Amino acid sequence: MDFKIDTKSNYTLITPVEPLLNANLADQITDECQKLQESSAANFIIDLQACKDADTACFPKLLDLYEHAYTSGQSLVFIHVQDNVMQKMKQEQLHLTLNIAPTLIEAVDIVNMEILERDLFNEE
């Protein structure tokens, strides 16, 4: 599977280049996040711009990835979700749980706010 990966100071941007978001791609995104976590990456932004359609079988896997990130004290945000994919996410009510932002700038803001929140809660 082909990904574009861009590592910044507070997050890692992962951009799959596949047109279909399916269970196989969701597994590969999960594997990539796990590999990056081992090399100290903590927060992820997944750019789904290339994914023009989705198979609903991938959604439980994405939800598991999201929940694992947050129970591990990390952030995970999906950006550039295409209309067909968003419609299917809404049918499954996944959009109510996942962090979904329209742009990279907004996703970075979410990640930074969550970092601040975690820092504040850890001080108490």
List pLDDT tens digits, range 39-94.
Answer: 888 899 999 999 999 999 999 999 999 999 999 999 999 999 999 999 999 999 99
pLDDT category of residue 25 using cuts at 50, 70 and 90:
very high
Which residues partner with 76 through β-bridges?
44
Q: Which of 36, 115, 30, 123 shows the shortest CA–CA distance to 75?
A: 115
Number of domains in the chain: 1
Cα–Cα dist 110/124, whole Å:
22
pLDDT for residue 124: 61
Confidence label for 27 from pLDDT (cuts 50, 70 and 90): very high
pLDDT of residue 82: 97
pTM of the model: 0.93
**Is residue 16 very low, low, confident or very high in pLDDT (cuts 50, 70, 90)?**
very high
Distance CA 112, CA 107 (A): 9
Pairing of strands 75-79, 100-101: parallel
Residue-number span of the structural domain to which 75 is assigned: 3-123
Higher pLDDT, 101 or 39: 101
| CATH number, domain with residue 112 | 3.30.750.24
